[in-house]
Amino acid sequence: MRARFFSGEDRQAAAAAAAAFFQMEVGQLVIEEVRPVEGAPPVQLLAIDPEGAPIDQMNGGFALRFEADGVYLELLPPRGQGLPIDRGGLQERLSRKGVSGLDRPLLEALLARGVGCARIAPPQRERLLQEEAVVRLSADAMEATLELLPPEPGGALMGAAQIKQALREAGVVAGLQEEEIARAAREHTYGRSYRVAVGRPPQDGRDGELIYHFDQSGIGVPTVDKEGKAYFRELNLFVPVERGQLLVTRVPATEGVPGVTVTGQERRQRKGREVPLPRSTNAVADEHKTTLHAACDGMVELVGGVVQVSGVYTVKGDVNMGIGNIDFNGSVVVNGSVMAGMTVQATGDLTVGGGAEGCTLEAGGNIKIARGMQGMDRGVIRAGGSVTAQFVERASVSAGEDIKVDMLVHSTAEAGRNLLAAGKRGSIVGGLARADKLVVARTVGTEAAIRTEVEVGLQPVRRKRILFLEKEQAGLAAEYEKLATLHGYLEKADPADEAKRALRASVVGSLRKNRAAHQRQQQELEALRQELECAGACKLHVLGKIHPESHIGIGPASLRIDQPVSFATFTCRDGKIVFGACEYTRD
């Protein structure tokens, strides 16, 4: 298909000019009259020689003609579903051709009309287009890409040296990718981008860290045999330390390595953040502030991020009116019992060798009661760590971490982590038992249908994403095996076989991408699995039986038990509480 605009004083003259140009009869051409722009001859025709092809579906286009009386621009409108005129391409062509003296108003008027021919510039010599390079920098200047613009017939092609010169003119001086530059100079592929320069990203420094040289886990945990039996008389009351013992080592942060952009600019790295030694009591740091040692004999614990080394205040008998209330900055051991109306407060741990009756026990760490608490509806137990007792009856008990009891009767219990009533009796009767992650009990409620409430927190579920990643991992593993097999075959191939060498390089690249993708997905999968484990921990495990009039709340869902249920695990799924066979196993 050929097309061109013709002008004249009348339609007959313009049509005759078209017939003469195409060397055809007027009747053989498709002629359409176009309203000329201001200043053009009164008649303008678009003459099309279909050359036997249909013209009902055509893309819009443009053409520049350098004539003796000036530079002409022709705009051909799209037909049917054809694409519109590429304005960007037109601007690029005008720029590359170096057309000077453009009549901008006339050009804009012609573009607004979308069809026609007009003289947009005075007479000038036409520039033959050579191959040109367009260099683009990423927003962070860490990457430069190159796109080649095609020459006109007879125009010169660019070599590697000319490409590098274009890069220098664009300010690209670092991270040149020689192979990619050579490929661009060899292929001369238009319409694609070559990654010709890559900056070196900064390597951030490693943050400082603290290494603790003592057990930070909860203390006062009873010894448990292989059968799960707890011996409440065999207790690990505290972590003992001696004067001068190393408690904490501080590992300094590192500086890291700066990066550089493709323009040669330095990119600063993030220096590692120093971590100071933790605050402490009765502990001393060395002159370089890199180690922390105990300043006295006694016990050590980490409470609210503070390393506490303290002596242990011991009461050989009972806490009663003869002793008075106790408020001790450290840990307290009561060999006897705590009588009704008394208050014992400790910033560390509190251990009671006997029982407690209608009293108040408060500790920043763990509270251990060998026999239990008979609260008389006024007993209070508050611990920043865990609470362990044989029983708690008619009392209020709260713990920042776990509550471990054999019997919880008509009490209000709140655990920041888990509530465990899994001993020989292991019962929760009446009152309210609440935990953030897990509640375990042998029996909940009674046959007498006493109202008993159990509440457990809820974490978001990410199982669908895990299943997808597991499937992707399997696919990557299968792909890796195939690539590894092919790589092994190519390793044995003739080194002189260039095709085999190129294929081997491609396979090596695919292997690297496969491993990188596998590593990224594995990291995400591990994080999701950890989240799922946390979500799965929001459960109620009943090792024996849960009786009617027991009310269960897990996250936003609730359930009232109407019939006894035995050996079951309750959890929240899709906004509802469901249960199945008990899943609980002791660690």
CA distance 435 to 454: 8
Which one has a higher pLDDT value, 57 or 273? Answer: 273
CA distance 380 to 388: 14
Mean pLDDT of 511-525: 87
Q: Specify the pLDDT at position 457.
A: 75
CA distance 234 to 529: 36
Q: Specify the pLDDT at position 227.
A: 65
CA distance 36 to 41: 7
Q: Specify the pLDDT at position 36.
A: 80
Contact predicate 48/3, CB 8 Å: yes
Phi, psi of 130, deg, nearest 5: -95, 170
**Residue 437 Rama label (left phi>0; alpha psi -120 to 50; beta):** alpha
Residue 29 tokens read as 């051409």
Q: Specify the pLDDT at position 228.
A: 59
Handedness of CA 19, 25, 30, 32 (dihedral sign): positive
Band of pLDDT at residue 486, cut at 50, 70 and 90: confident
Q: Specify the pLDDT at position 587.
A: 62
CA distance 378 to 369: 17
At 517 the three-state DSSP class reads helix
Q: Specify the pLDDT at position 459.
A: 38
Which 3-state string (H, E, C) describes 73-140? EEEECCECCCCCCCHHHHHHHHHHHCCCCCCHHHHHHHHHHCCEEEEEECCCCCCCCCCEEEEEECCC
Q: Specify the pLDDT at position 264.
A: 94
Contact predicate 175/197, CB 8 Å: yes
Band of pLDDT at residue 295, cut at 50, 70 and 90: very high
The answer to whether residue 232 scores a pLDDT higher than 50 is: no
Which one has a higher pLDDT value, 291 or 96? Answer: 291
Which 3-state string (H, E, C) describes 164-206? HHHHHHCCCCCCECHHHHHHHHHHCCCCCCEEEEECECCEECC
At 330 the three-state DSSP class reads coil
Mean pLDDT of 93-102: 88
| Residue-wise pLDDT tens digits, 389-410 | 999 999 999 999 999 999 999 9
Element (H, E) at 507: helix 498-536
Band of pLDDT at residue 467, cut at 50, 70 and 90: confident
Q: Specify the pLDDT at position 39.
A: 65
Which one has a higher pLDDT value, 327 or 125? Answer: 125
Which one has a higher pLDDT value, 465 or 320? Answer: 320
Mean pLDDT of 549-563: 88
Q: Specify the pLDDT at position 7.
A: 85
Out of 57-61, 104-108, 226-230, least confident range? 226-230
Which one has a higher pLDDT value, 410 or 3? Answer: 410
The answer to whether residue 41 scores a pLDDT higher than 80 is: no
Q: Specify the pLDDT at position 461.
A: 37
The answer to whether residue 534 scores a pLDDT higher than 70 is: no
Residue 486 tokens read as 């092919």
Report which of 363, 99, 338 is spatially closest to residue 238, judged by C-alpha positions.
363
- Which sequence spans correspond to the domains of the chain? 2-121, 132-198, 209-257+273-303, 308-460+538-581, 463-536
At 557 the three-state DSSP class reads strand
Mean pLDDT of 320-337: 85
| Residue-wise pLDDT tens digits, 417-448 | 999 998 888 999 999 999 988 999 999 999 99
Q: Specify the pLDDT at position 521.
A: 85
Mean pLDDT of 232-236: 38
| Residue-wise pLDDT tens digits, 468-478 | 888 888 898 88
Mean pLDDT of 503-532: 81
CA distance 556 to 574: 10
Q: Specify the pLDDT at position 14.
A: 85
Mean pLDDT of 507-530: 84
Residue 565 tokens read as 């249920």
CA distance 2 to 30: 10
User: DSSP letters along 385-454, please?
Assistant: S-EEEEEEEEEEEEESS-EEEEEEEEEEEEESSEEEE-SSS-EEEEEEEEESSEEEEEEES-TT---EEE
The answer to whether residue 237 scores a pLDDT higher than 50 is: no
The answer to whether residue 157 scores a pLDDT higher than 80 is: yes
| Residue-wise pLDDT tens digits, 165-201 | 999 999 999 999 999 999 999 999 998 999 999 999 9
As a whole number, the mean pLDDT across the chain is 87
Q: Specify the pLDDT at position 370.
A: 94
The answer to whether residue 454 scores a pLDDT higher than 80 is: yes
Residues in the chain: 587
Residue 552 tokens read as 């269960």
Q: Specify the pLDDT at position 57.
A: 85
The answer to whether residue 217 scores a pLDDT higher than 80 is: no
Rounded to two decimals, what is the model's pTM? 0.41
The answer to whether residue 532 scores a pLDDT higher than 90 is: no
Q: Specify the pLDDT at position 128.
A: 86
CA distance 174 to 179: 15
The answer to whether residue 111 scores a pLDDT higher than 70 is: yes
Phi, psi of 513, deg, nearest 5: -60, -40
CA distance 498 to 520: 33
Mean pLDDT of 48-66: 85
Phi, psi of 386, deg, nearest 5: -110, 160
Report which of 429, 424, 427, 438 is spatially closest to residue 231, judged by C-alpha positions.
424
At 42 the three-state DSSP class reads coil
Largest CA distance in the chain: 129
Band of pLDDT at residue 236, cut at 50, 70 and 90: very low
CA distance 371 to 392: 9
| Residue-wise pLDDT tens digits, 246-265 | 999 999 999 999 999 999 99
Q: Specify the pLDDT at position 223.
A: 47
Band of pLDDT at residue 140, cut at 50, 70 and 90: very high
Q: Specify the pLDDT at position 275.
A: 94
Contact predicate 81/32, CB 8 Å: no
Phi, psi of 290, deg, nearest 5: -115, -15
The answer to whether residue 513 scores a pLDDT higher than 70 is: yes
